[in-house]
């Protein structure tokens, strides 16, 4: 250079992310964002379906002396399936967070790795909350013996 300045365009090009890397990183973060929403969404669907089905069942069939045990067992089985799905989501989120590998629970840097780990951490915590919520939503199945 004539004025003594250094040409940094070559080093900036090496440091800039390549289009394929950006697409891969975006795809991972997009999957992480979906994982954050699935736990609470599954909990909400379970809540509405359980209480809605119970209301319909009791309105249509709960007036007699019939046992509601088959209905209770079906709601209980659905609750166990939902808990298994949320546990799987939590496990996947735990793996994405990678706390045992890195020992880092803060993820304070604004780089790709910390963003991905943060999304895993957030999804893991939401999975725990959703798991507990589904347990509390399903508890009436254990105690309610009739529609009256």
CB 115 within 8 A of CB 98: no
For 66-120, what is each residue's pLDDT tens digit?
778 899 999 999 999 999 999 999 998 888 776 556 555 555 555 555 666 778 8
- pTM of structure: 0.72
**135 φ, ψ to 5°?**
-60, -45
Q: How far apart are CA 139 and CA 122, in angstroms?
A: 26
Q: How far apart are CA 97 and CA 106, in angstroms?
A: 11
Tokens, residue 11: 């080093």
pLDDT for the residue 36: 87
What is the band of 26 on the pLDDT scale with cuts at 50, 70, 90? low
pLDDT tens profile 11-22? 445 555 566 665
**In whole angstroms, what is the distance from residue 78 CA to residue 88 CA?**
15
Q: Per-residue pLDDT averaged across 48-74, rounded?
A: 87
- The span from the first CA to the last CA of the chain, in angstroms, equals 89
């Amino acid at each position: 250079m004539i004025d003594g300045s250094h040409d940094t365009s070559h080093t900036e090009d090496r440091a800039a992310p390549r289009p394929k890397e950006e697409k891969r990183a975006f795809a991972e973060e997009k999957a992480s964002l979906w994982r954050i929403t699935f736990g609470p969404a599954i909990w909400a669907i379970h809540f509405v379906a359980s209480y809605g089905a119970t209301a319909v069942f009791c309105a249509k069939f709960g007036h007699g002396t019939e046992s509601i045990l088959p209905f209770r067992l079906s709601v209980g089985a659905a609750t166990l399936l939902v808990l298994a799905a949320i546990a799987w989501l939590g496990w996947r989120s735990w793996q994405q967070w990678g706390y045992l590998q890195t020992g880092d629970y803060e993820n304070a840097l604004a780089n790709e790795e910390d963003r991905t780990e943060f999304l895993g951490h957030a999804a893991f915590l939401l999975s725990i909350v959703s798991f507990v919520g589904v347990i509390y939503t399903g508890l009436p199945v254990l105690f309610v013996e009739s529609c009256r």
